[in-house]
Chain A
Amino acid sequence: MNKRRRTVLRLAGGAGAWSAAAACGLIAGGQAWAANRNEAAFQAKAVADALKNLGAGNLVESRDIVITAPDIAENGAVVPVAVTSKIANTESIAILAEKNPFPLAASFDITPGADAYVSTRIKMGQTSDVRAIVKAGGKYFTATKEVKVTVGGCG
Chain B
Amino acid sequence: MSEPMKIRATLQGDVADVRILMMHPMETGQRKNSKGELIPMHFIKNVVVSHNGKTVLDAEWTQAISRNPFLGLRVKGAKAGDKISVTWIDNKGDKRTDETAVAAGS
Contacts and interface: CB of A to CB of B under 8 A. Distances in A.
A5, A24, A97, A100, most chain B CB atoms within 10 A = A24
Give the dominant DSSP class at A's interface: mixed
Interface size class of B (residues with CB under 8 A): 35 or more
A114 B75 contact: yes
Contacts of B41: 27
A118 B72 contact: yes
A20 to B, nearest CB: 10
Nearest to A105: B64
Contacts of A108: 57-60
B67 A109 contact: no
B65 interface: yes
A62 interface: no
Which 5 pairs show the lowest CB-CB distances between chains A and B? A23-B30, A119-B72, A115-B74, A113-B56, A105-B64
Interface of B: 6, 8, 10, 12, 15, 17, 19, 21, 26-31, 41, 45-46, 49, 51, 54-77, 91
